[in-house]
Amino acid sequence: MIDLKLLRDQPDVVRASQVARGDDPALVDQILDADARRRSALVEFETLRAEQKSHGKKVAQASSPEERTELLAHTKQLAEQVKAYEKDAAEAGETLDALLMKVSNVVADGVPAGGEDDYVVLREVGARRDFAAEGFEPRDHLELGEMLRAIDTERGAKVSGSRFYYLTGIGARLELALLNAAVDKALEHGFTPMITPTIVNPQIMRGTGFLGAHADEIYRLEADDQYLVGTSEVALAGYHSDEIVDLSAGPLRYAGWSACYRREAGSYGKDTRGIIRVHQFHKVEMFSYARVEDAAAEHERLLALEEEMLALVGLPYRVIDTAAGDLGSSAARKFDCEAWLPTQQRFLELTSTSNCTTFQARRLGVRERVENAEGKVETRAVATLNGTLATTRWIVAILENHQQPDGSVRVPEGLRPYLGGLEVLTPVTA
């Protein structure tokens, strides 16, 4: 949720953020109006309630029946006015809260303006293979996966419908190797591994910002009024909801391993071949609770770990600074790492890391104790950050970038210890 104090004090900053995202800046004025109405009603309510209490004492001290009757009549009138202003304040408060939930996080300084195609490339790492120079045409990941008996989309569709699949044999082993390597990377850097729930309550899903413009991407369990998560970020963000956390020793860092579910609504015909854009997958997700002052540095730390994982599996990739209109409502800044996909001659997103500042924590009630300028201890919202460390989609890039002319695939050195030292994945001919 947006910081109401920031919106009051610097409305132009929030308006500019809304414009950069392509959202409605008029929401800012609507919020300010609702806030003013609520505060005005509260002032009237408190003033009249104080007068009501004062009249109660005067009734008890009335010197005659006539005076008592007159005072009682006025007290009744005050009571009706108090109720009216209390109702006005409550209604204005509800309007204010509803409007605040519509405003996306304030975009960080330096984020590119624009939409999906207006990102800025920060760097490109690793050399793209020249398959023409090597004398063969690269196969796509699905053809390779079928040759290796690693991916079965036909039976996945038969059992569950389109965009479902089986990872079989070496495919299943490859995913487990990748995710276990990610957990080891997280452990190495002080993250607590977590196996998280994949079904969450509405207040948690709403608190993370996923029930906004892209709510149609989420599977809802109507009978139970719950949701299937699209990332363990949701469950990890809710882990400390309505709690005061201790960040005196640094950020709290978690790495969640979970199944993830996405409806992929509105993406018909896009990346439908293979396992690029599917309804179910597995992922290891980093999540940090940090002090506001430490959030930018923590963001860089998460990005560095993602790049370490990409180096571990030997993929050429680039890092992009995502434009404001493509951030999602919770993020103030987002970096994506995209691996080169040789058969499509394009980059494919493998990781994202977002700094959500205090946006999610305000909604979920995650706070820390701090000492203010007067030396008094008070509570304030913390910052939350997330970042992908590995996911099923990585198999796409691993197979295509490490393939050989005969359809075999060299195992990246970083994954060999997780596959019993296996160096090459060999097509199954029988």
Binding residues: 231-233, 262-264, 278-281, 285, 349-352, 386, 388
Choose among 253, 250, 238, 254: nearest CA to 361: 238
Active-site residue flag, 273:
no
- DSSP states of 175-195: HHHHHHHHHHHHHHTTPEEEE
| 414 close to 324: Cβ distance less than 8 angstroms | no
Q: Which of 338, 352, 362, 400 is catalytic?
A: 352
Collapsing DSSP states into helix, strand and coil, what is residue 127? Answer: coil
Q: Which two tokens stand for residue 383?
A: 């910052």
Q: Which of 241, 308, 349, 380 is catalytic?
A: 349
Catalytic residue among 139, 262, 301, 362: 262
Alpha-carbon distance of 157 to 41, in angstroms, equals 58
Nearest to 209 by CA among 319, 327, 315, 298: 327
Binding annotation for L-serine: 231-233, 262, 285, 386, 388
- Is position 262 annotated as part of the catalytic site? yes
> Rounded to an integer, what distance in angstroms lies between the CA atom of residue 274 and that of residue 409?
17
Q: From the candidates 15, 301, 333, 393, which is the catalytic residue?
A: 393
Is residue 333 flagged as an active site residue?
no
352 catalytic residue (yes or no): yes
Residue located via tokens 């960040």 = 247
Annotated binding site for ATP: 262-264, 278-281, 349-352
- DSSP letter assigned to residue 198: S
In DSSP terms, 351 is beta-bridged to 337
Provide the token pair at 324.
Answer: 């404001």
Task: Give Rg (Cα) of the chain.
Answer: 28
Q: Which of 277, 291, 380, 410 is catalytic?
A: 277
134 is catalytic: no
Catalytic residues: 262, 277, 349, 352, 393
